[in-house]
Homo-oligomer: A and B are copies of this chain.
Amino acid sequence: MTDMIIRGGSILTMDGTIIDDGVVAVDNGLIAYAGKDTGEKADRVMNAKGCAVMPGIINAHTHLSMTVLRGLADGLPYGEWIKKIQSEEARLTPSGIRAGAYLGMLEMIKSGTTSFADMYIHMDEIARAVEETGMRAALGYGMIEGQNEDADSKLRSRERFAREWNGKADGRITTMYAPHSAASCSKEFLIRVKELAARDRSRIHIHVLETEHELQLMKKRYGMCSVNFLNSIGLLGPGTLAAHCIWLSDDDIEILRKNNVNVTHCPASNTNLGAGIAPVPAMLGRGINVALGTDGAASAGSLDMWKEMRTALYLHRLKDPRSIPASKVLEMATVNGARALGIRAGMLKPGYLADIIIVDLKKPQFISPDQVSALVHGASGCDVKTTIVNGEVLMEDYRVTKMDEGKIIGDARDAMRSIAE
Contacts and interface: CB of A to CB of B under 8 A. Distances in A.
Interface stretch (A102-110, A149-157, A284-292): A102-110
Contacts of A271: 314-315, 317-318
A413 B367 contact: yes
B67 A364 contact: yes
Interface stretch (A8-16, A176-184, A300-308): A300-308
B272 A416 contact: no
Contacts of A376: 301
Interface in A357-386: 362-365, 367-370, 373-374, 376-378, 380-383
Contacts of A121: none
Interface stretch (A69-77, A165-173, A185-193, A348-356): A69-77
A319 interface: yes
Contact of A370 (B74, B78, B107, B321): B74
A330 to B, nearest CB: 13
Contacts of A326: 74-75
A373 to B, nearest CB: 4
Given A367-B412, A416-B367, A314 B311 contact: yes
Interface in A3-45: none
Contacts of A268: 314
A274 interface: yes
A376 B70 CA distance: 13
Given A110-B363, A314-B272, A322-B77, A304 B378 contact: yes
Contacts of A110: 363-364
A302 to B, nearest CB: 4
Contacts of A318: 271, 274, 276-277
A325 interface: yes
Q: Among A78, A267, A367, A408, find the residue whose CB has the most chain B CB atoms closer than 10 A.
A: A367
Interface string A307-351: 100110111011111101110000000000000000000000000
A90 interface: no
Contacts of A325: 74-75
Contacts of A137: none
Contact of A380 (B70, B304, B364): B304
Interface residues of A, number: 67
A273 interface: yes
Given A75-B325, A321-B76, A322-B75, A367 B70 contact: yes
B319 A365 contact: no
A409 B364 contact: yes
A268 B310 CA distance: 9
Q: Among A302, A317, A365, A381, find the residue whose CB has the most chain B CB atoms closer than 10 A.
A: A365
Interface of A: 67, 70-72, 74-78, 81, 103-104, 106-107, 110, 267-268, 271-274, 276-277, 297, 300-304, 307, 310-311, 313-315, 317-322, 324-326, 362-365, 367-370, 373-374, 376-378, 380-383, 408-409, 412-413, 416, 420
Given A274-B319, A369-B420, 6 more contacts: A75-B317, A277-B318, A301-B374, A367-B413, A380-B380, A380-B382
22 contacts: A71-B370, A71-B374, A74-B325, A74-B373, A75-B321, A75-B322, A75-B373, A77-B322, A103-B364, A106-B364, A267-B314, A268-B314, A271-B315, A271-B318, A274-B318, A274-B320, A300-B377, A302-B377, A304-B365, A310-B311, A362-B409, A380-B382
